[in-house]
């Protein structure tokens, strides 16, 4: 979304929030910076698009008249009671999870959006507690030049257009997914009439969102359909997990370990799709996990932690 459009939508939102009565289109055209000038037809089209985009974002815009018994033109307003959120409260564990999520995204448009979200939490008195964050944190690299366009299309529910295999493609995107260090966009291919994955690194022409926001309908089972891209766990290791840790280990199974274990730890069998992913998970867990075996993977974790400590 361009800065000019963002500013116009924000000005429209402020105007509709700052009034108790309904504002007509004529009044909004005079009040909102970005609507002045141009033709009446151009304003009508632009206003209708902006109004629908705000509604798509969850803004409850009411339509009505200040004098129901007159022929007065219909107007618009936002009821503050419907728009404002109740006070936000989070448990210490939830704040820690938010903090970890904020540190995951380090590149591209996601970093800017994450910073804005954390600022909003700070303003509401619900900022993440830095003392609860782990020493070693995961990071998701976003270096693909098409990531921003795909991210915008998915979050605004717009059609995505790009080149793939040397020819133009269209996709109604539902999800952005990372698997084994690679990014995929997943959605409905309107040409084939079926859902498909497209690997961002194989795009042959730049991606760009198209059409109006909210035009894409995401099915309720989109996550289930996307699960088929999940790589099957084929790497197994023995990991000592700290008792009482809140860090999730979906594939972990308790096991007997003949060697010695630090106090407060229990041995588990942990499975992952590849060695690098398993090493990343254990290293990111910091003191919550100790890789016991096999020796070659344990050595990789030790080296990873030494690199971080340098």
pLDDT string in tens for the chain (310-residue length): 566 788 888 888 888 888 888 888 888 888 888 887 778 888 888 889 998 888 888 888 888 887 766 666 678 998 877 777 666 676 766 666 666 556 555 555 555 665 666 666 665 565 555 554 454 455 555 668 899 899 889 989 999 999 998 899 999 999 988 876 678 999 999 999 999 999 898 999 999 999 998 899 999 998 888 887 765 667 899 999 999 888 888 778 999 999 999 999 999 999 887 788 888 889 888 889 999 999 999 999 999 888 877 6
269 contacts 246 by C-beta, under 8 angstroms:
no
Q: Does domain 3-83 have CATH number 1.10.10?
A: yes
- What's the burial of 205, exposed, middle or buried (CB within 10 Å: 0-12/13-18/19+)? middle
Tokens of 28: 């909004």
Helix (H, G, I), strand (E, B) or coil at 110: helix
- Phi, psi of 210, deg, nearest 5: -145, 155
- Closest-CA residue to 35 (of 21, 22, 48): 48
- Closest-CA residue to 50 (of 1, 99, 114): 1
pLDDT, tens digit (0-9, with 9 covering 90-100), for 197-228:
998 989 999 999 999 988 999 999 988 888 87
- Phi, psi of 264, deg, nearest 5: 85, 10
Which residues make up the CATH 2.30.30 domain(s) of the chain? 147-229
Q: H or E element: which one contains 199?
A: strand 194-199
Which residues make up the CATH 1.10.10 domain(s) of the chain? 3-83
- Closest-CA residue to 292 (of 305, 301, 303, 284): 301
CB atoms within 10 A of CB 157: 19
Q: Which fold does the domain 147-229 belong to in CATH?
A: SH3 type barrels. (2.30.30)
């Amino acid at each position: 979304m361009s800065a000019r459009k963002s500013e116009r939508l924000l000005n429209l939102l402020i105007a509709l929030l700052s009034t108790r009565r309904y504002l007509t289109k004529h009044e909004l055209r005079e009040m909102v910076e970005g609507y002045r000038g141009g033709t009446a037809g151009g304003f009508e089209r632009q206003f209708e698009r902006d109004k629908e985009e705000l509604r798509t974002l969850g803004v409850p815009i009411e339509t009505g008249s200040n004098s129901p018994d007159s022929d007065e033109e219909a107007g618009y307003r936002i009821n503050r009671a419907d728009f404002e959120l109740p006070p936000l409260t989070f448990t210490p564990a939830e704040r820690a999870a938010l903090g970890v999520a904020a540190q995951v995204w380090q590149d591209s448009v996601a970093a800017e959006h994450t910073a804005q979200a954390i600022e909003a939490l700070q303003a509401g008195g619900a900022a993440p507690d830095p003392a609860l964050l782990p020493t070693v944190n995961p990071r998701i690299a976003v270096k693909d030049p098409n990531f921003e366009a795909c991210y915008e299309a998915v979050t605004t529910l717009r059609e995505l257009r790009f080149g793939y295999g040397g020819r133009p493609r269209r996709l109604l995107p539902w999800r952005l997914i990372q698997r084994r260090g690679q990014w995929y966009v997943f959605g409905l291919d309107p040409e084939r009439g079926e859902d498909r994955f497209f690997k961002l690194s194989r795009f042959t022409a730049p991606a760009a969102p198209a059409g109006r926001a909210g035009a894409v309908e995401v099915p309720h089972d989109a996550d289930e359909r996307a699960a088929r891209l999940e790589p099957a766990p084929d790497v197994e290791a023995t990991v000592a997990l700290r008792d009482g840790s809140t860090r999730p280990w979906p594939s972990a199974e308790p096991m007997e370990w003949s060697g010695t274990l630090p106090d407060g730890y229990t041995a588990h069998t942990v499975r992952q799709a590849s060695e690098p992913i398993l090493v990343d998970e254990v290293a990111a867990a910091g003191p919550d996990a100790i890789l016991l075996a096999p020796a070659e993977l344990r050595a990789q974790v030790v080296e990873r932690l030494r690199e971080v400590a340098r």
